[in-house]
Structures are given as C-alpha cells and as structure tokens.
C-alpha cells in the first residue's frame, strides 16, 4: 500500500487544497478516492499541540487534492461502511 510510503507519489504534485474534505472538482468523498497518500514526514503542530498532516487523495475523476488531517470531519460512517470500502487501509492514524 502506498499510503504510508515516505516518498510522495507523482499525482500529489498537482494536488489542490480542499477545505471540506471532498474532491474540489466532483465533490466525491475520500471513500471514492482511488489512491491516498499521507505526508507523515512533516507533521505540523497546531495551537492545541496536536499534530496534523497533509492527506492527499487521488479522486476517481483524476483530480488530486489534499486536506489537513485535522479538517477531516468526524466519521459518520462509523466502522461499518468504512470497513467494507477501505478495510485494508488504516486511515485512523490519530495518535
């Protein structure tokens, strides 16, 4: 899985900053992304001393976008749907 590679995949180079954790082009959620990469090399410390980092998503519409991990909305999908779609991808990396 490339999500936790240290080297950014090429598609992250043109990523657009999304502020609402949806694809800025087609509005798809992260659930529909065909690839994800998380920049864990350079976490940023927020004012609350919590770490946040950039999460990059490669949407199925071929748009690349990223958002701060701290901006991710609380999961309303709970575990059920998320487990089905991304069971092999542990995105819950808050420590």
Give the residues lining the site for Zn ion (CB under 5 A). Answer: 23, 25-26, 28, 59, 61, 63
- Give every CB contact of residue 54 below 8 A, 6+ residues apart in sequence: 38, 39, 42, 66, 67, 68, 69
| Least Cβ distance, residue 32 to Zn ion (angstroms) | 7
Least distance to Zn ion, CB of residue 43, Å: 26
CB nearer to Zn ion: give 28 or 86. 28
Q: 58, 16 in Cβ contact below 8 A? A: no
Neighbour count for residue 36 (Cβ, 10 Å): 20
CB nearer to Zn ion: pick between 31 and 44: 31
- Tell me how far, at minimum, the Cβ of 78 lies from Zn ion, in Å: 24
Q: By C-beta, is 38 or 65 nearer to Zn ion?
A: 65
């Amino acid at each position: 899985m490339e999500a936790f590679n240290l080297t950014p995949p090429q598609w992250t180079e043109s990523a657009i900053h999304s502020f609402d954790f949806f694809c800025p082009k087609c509005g798809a959620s992260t659930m529909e992304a065909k690839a994800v990469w998380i920049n864990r090399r350079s976490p940023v410390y927020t004012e609350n001393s919590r770490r946040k980092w950039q999460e990059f998503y490669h949407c199925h519409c071929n748009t690349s976008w990223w958002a701060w991990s701290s901006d991710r909305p609380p999961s309303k999908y709970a575990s059920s749907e998320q487990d089905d779609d991304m069971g092999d991808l542990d995105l819950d990396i808050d420590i």
